[in-house]
């Protein structure tokens, strides 16, 4: 579904991605793990079209993406839930959700998807009129995911969804992600919580200093002593 081929991305003079190649298959969850500054967020932003490539290519469903602006990528089914969530704090939960569907014109389909999102993330239903800025961290993360789902993605890019959340909320978020994956949405999951991410995903890609250090079956990588020592706090 997604082919990232020898991608380079620079932030000014800093080479944040240096020849990264990976792919995401239809319906799978791919975890991206790696230390701070490895290039994980940069990779998601490049896929979403928020950062230009300085080399390589990204293909989605067989077509090159690199000339397409972010809003066209959203229309084609790619949705990003950014680190820090990017919510509109003074707008209500309902309005933030509606913004996720801004490019869609079939009101009945949007209403039915909204109902589905509220069933998946029931805490949001109780808080529809509350302003997003007054939600707890976990609820804000759920809102950010719900808003992305209203774009009806086929490929969901999640940047550190468990960041800053209490353990119980981390459980809730991971359960919601697993449910989204069961509904057939492909997911690229960037996570510091590598162990949890790897137990949810079939495959994992390890980034280090802007390059793919390892990639493969999540269960096998989890048992690899080098991965365990570097990213999982030992076995
Ligand atoms: N806007 C920017 N301007 C300059 N350098 C940047 C910018 N954004 C990222 N970088 C640099 O690019 C590299 C990759 O950053 P990136 O945020 O992609 O890493 P990451 O793996 O997501 O890290 P973290 O886990 O800390 O979020 C880092 O060296 C970072 O300092």
The answer to whether 188 and 155 have CB atoms below 8 angstroms apart is yes
Ligand 1: does its nearest atom lie under 6 Å from the Cβ of 129? no
Give the three-class secondary structure for 208: strand
Contact of 128 with 96, CB cutoff 8 Å: no
For residue 86, the model assigns a pLDDT of 83
> What percentage of the chain reaches a pLDDT higher than 70?
99
Tens digit of each residue's pLDDT (9 = 90 or more) over 49-104:
999 999 999 999 989 987 799 999 998 999 999 887 789 999 999 999 999 888 77
pLDDT at site 104: 79
CA of 15 to the centre of ligand 1 (A): 10
Protein residue closest via CA to atom 4 of ligand 1? 11
Residue 235, pLDDT score = 47
Tell me the CA–centroid distance for residue 5 and ligand 1, in Å: 20
Query: Angle 214-215-219 (CA atoms, 0-180°, nearest 5)?
Result: 115
The ipTM estimated for the assembled molecules is 0.94
DSSP for 9-42 reads EEETTEEEEEEEEEEE-TT-EEEEE-STTSSHHH
40 CB near ligand 1 (under 6 Å): yes
pLDDT band at 149; cut points 50, 70, 90:
very high
- The protein residue with its alpha carbon nearest to ligand 1, atom 24, reads 36
Give the bridge partners for 15, in sequence order: 10
42 close to ligand 1 (CB < 6 Angstrom):
yes
What angle (nearest 5°) sits at the alpha carbon of residue 153, between those of residues 22 and 20?
Answer: 15
**What pLDDT is attached to residue 234?**
54
For the chain, the average pLDDT equals 91
> In this predicted structure, what is the pLDDT of residue 167?
86
Beta carbons within 10 angstroms of residue 128's beta carbon: 14
Q: Provide the CATH number for the domain formed by 2-231 in this structure.
A: 3.40.50.300
Crossing angle (nearest 10°) for helices 93-100 and 107-120:
120
Residue keyed to tokens 């309005």: 95
Question: Per-residue pLDDT tens for 113-143?
Answer: 999 999 988 889 999 999 999 998 888 989 9
pLDDT: is 155 or 224 the higher one?
A: 155
Helix, strand, coil shares, percent, the chain, to 5: 40, 25, 35
| Distance in angstroms (rounded) separating the CA atoms of residues 77 and 148 | 10
- C-alpha 36 to ligand 1 mean position (Å): 8
Number of C-beta neighbours around residue 202 at 10 A? 15
Domain segments of the chain: what residues?
A: 2-231
Which protein residue's CA is at the shortest distance from atom 2 of ligand 1? 11
Q: How far is the CA of 171 from the centre of ligand 1 (A)?
A: 27
Compute, in angstroms, the gap from residue 42 CA to the centroid of ligand 1: 6
Give the tens place of pLDDT for each residue, 15-62. 999 999 999 999 999 999 998 899 999 999 999 999 999 999 999 998
For residue 159, pLDDT beyond 50: yes
- Tell me which residue of 192, 214, 196 sits closest to 205, measured CA to CA: 214
User: Which residues are CB-neighbours of 86 under 8 A, at least 6 positions away?
Assistant: 144
In short, whether 34's Cβ falls inside 6 Å of ligand 1 is yes
Instruction: Please name the residue that has the structure tokens 């991971």.
Output: 174
**CA distance linking residue 105 with residue 128, whole number of Å:** 22
Copy the structure tokens of residue 177: 């992600």
């Amino acid at each position: 579904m997604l082919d990232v081929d020898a991608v380079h991305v620079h932030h000014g003079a800093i080479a944040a991605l240096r020849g990264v190649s990976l792919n995401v298959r239809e319906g799978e969850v791919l975890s991206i793990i790696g230390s701070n500054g490895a290039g994980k967020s940069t990779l998601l932003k490049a896929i979403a079209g928020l950062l230009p490539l300085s080399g390589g290519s990204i293909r989605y469903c067989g077509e090159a993406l690199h000339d397409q602006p972010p809003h066209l990528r959203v229309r084609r089914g790619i949705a990003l839930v950014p680190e820090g969530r990017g919510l509109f704090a003074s707008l209500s939960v309902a309005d933030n959700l509606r913004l996720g569907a801004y490019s869609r014109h079939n009101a009945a389909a949007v209403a039915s998807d909204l109902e589905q999102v509220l069933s998946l993330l029931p805490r949001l239903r109780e808080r529809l009129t509350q302003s997003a800025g007054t939600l707890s961290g976990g609820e804000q993360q759920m809102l950010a995911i719900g808003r992305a789902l209203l774009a009806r993605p086929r490929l969901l890019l999640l940047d550190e969804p468990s960041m800053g959340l209490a353990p119980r909320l981390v459980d809730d978020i991971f359960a919601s992600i697993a449910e989204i994956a069961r509904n057939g949405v492909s997911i690229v999951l960037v996570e510091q919580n590598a162990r949890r991410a790897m137990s949810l995903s079939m495959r994992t890609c390890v980034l280090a200093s802007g390059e793919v250090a390892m990639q493969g079956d999540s269960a096998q990588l989890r048992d690899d002593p080098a991965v365990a020592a570097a990213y999982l706090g030992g076995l």
